[in-house]
């Protein structure tokens, strides 16, 4: 079982749509959670951290369910510029014993006119 | 600059040659990570530095891969006797602290390695 699993998509949605991405993680000792965005042939960039109480940043809402080991990202009113790959990131103890950010393979979003 | 800087941005090398990839993290960041991303794949963890020490090398794929960090700053990832399967983008990231803190990690633009 992969440590961080995401539906690869692609999710193909019209402008203005609401879209939700899910992510599950296997290590219950994980401590910190993030969503990153990666554009084609670019480096990943932080979109938002994810807190247990849930948090919102403009059109983006992130939720964490520790009991189910599940993270979600909701994007409202999608824009063309939201087209990218969204990476779920979980920081937890690695096989080497350190807390390492582990990345999911990403969910591809395509927003069309 | 203020961000993570990596060099070279692109490197084409012949199979069997050694390559060195450099990372200059954000000033003051004690944690430094190397990842590898093959075409169409996710990020694969390679090694983590806290200061000059590497407490976690569990992601290095073989003994052809090594890395060091000096002065708590610049890190070099060395790949010896490169193979075609080493072709990937090598991403360096830094963070103010490591451990189980919730600090964001910031990436450089990567070094694109092609082994021919």
Which of A42, A49, A100 lies nearest to residue B48, judging by beta carbons?
Answer: A100
Q: What is the pLDDT of residues B57-89, one digit of tens each?
A: 999 999 999 999 999 899 999 999 999 999 999
Within an 8 Å CB–CB cutoff, is residue A52 touching chain B?
no
DSSP 8-state class, residue A47: E
User: Alpha-carbon distance A102 to A32, whole Å?
Assistant: 10
Closest chain A residue by Cα to residue B31? A100
In this predicted model, what pLDDT tens digit does every residue of A16-75 receive, in sequence order?
A: 999 999 999 999 999 999 999 999 999 999 999 999 889 999 999 999 999 999 999 999
Please give the biggest Cα pair distance in chain A. 47
A1 confidence band (pLDDT: 50, 70, 90): low
Residue A55: strand, helix, or coil: strand
Which of B43, B48, B102 minimises the CB distance to A32? Answer: B102
Q: Do B104 and A42 touch (CB under 8 A)?
A: no
* Residue count of chain A: 113
pLDDT at B99 over 80: no
CB A51 within 8 A of CB A57: no
Mutate to test the interface with A, among B37, B43, B48, B114 (most CBs of A within 10 A): B43
Whole-angstrom distance, CA of residue B99 vs CA of residue A110? 35
E strands along chain A, which residues?
Answer: 4-6, 11-14, 19-25, 32-38, 45-50, 55-57, 60-65, 70-75, 84-93, 99-103, 107-112
Lowest mean pLDDT among B4-8, B12-16, B72-76, B98-102: B98-102
Task: Classify residue B77 as exposed, middle or buried by CB count within 10 Å of its CB (0-12, 13-18, 19+).
Answer: buried
Per-residue pLDDT band at B1 (split at 50, 70, 90) = low
HEC letters along B14-43:
CCCCCEEEEEECCCCCCEEEEEEECCCCCE
Check if the beta carbon of residue A29 is closer than 8 Å to that of residue A17. no
Q: Check B45 against A102: CB less than 8 A apart.
A: yes
Quickly count: other Cβ atoms within 10 Å of residue B87's Cβ. 17
Interface test with A, best of B23, B32, B45, B92 (most A CBs within 10 A): B45
Between CA A6 and CA B82 the distance in angstroms is 31
């Amino acid at each position: 079982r992969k440590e961080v699993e995401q539906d690869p998509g692609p999710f193909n949605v019209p402008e203005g749509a609401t879209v939700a991405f899910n992510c599950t993680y296997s290590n219950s000792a994980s401590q910190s959670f993030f969503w990153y965005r990666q554009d084609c042939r670019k480096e990943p960039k932080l979109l938002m951290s994810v807190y247990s109480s849930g948090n919102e940043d403009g059109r983006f809402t992130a939720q964490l369910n520790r009991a189910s080991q599940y993270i979600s990202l909701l994007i409202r009113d999608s824009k063309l510029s939201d087209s990218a790959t969204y990476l779920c990131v979980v920081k937890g103890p690695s096989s080497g014993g350190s807390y390492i950010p582990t990345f999911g393979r990403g969910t591809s979003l395509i927003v069309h006119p | 600059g203020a961000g993570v800087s990596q060099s070279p941005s692109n490197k084409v090398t012949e199979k069997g040659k050694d390559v060195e990839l450099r990372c200059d993290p954000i000033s003051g960041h004690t944690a430094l990570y190397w990842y590898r991303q093959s075409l169409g794949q996710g990020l694969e963890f390679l090694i983590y530095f806290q200061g000059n020490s590497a407490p976690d090398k569990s992601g290095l794929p073989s003994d052809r891969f090594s890395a060091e960090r000096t002065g708590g700053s610049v890190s070099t990832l060395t790949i010896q006797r490169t193979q075609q399967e080493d072709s990937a983008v090598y991403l360096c990231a830094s963070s103010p602290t490591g451990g189980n803190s919730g600090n964001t990690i910031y990436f450089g633009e990567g070094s694109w390695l092609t082994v021919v």
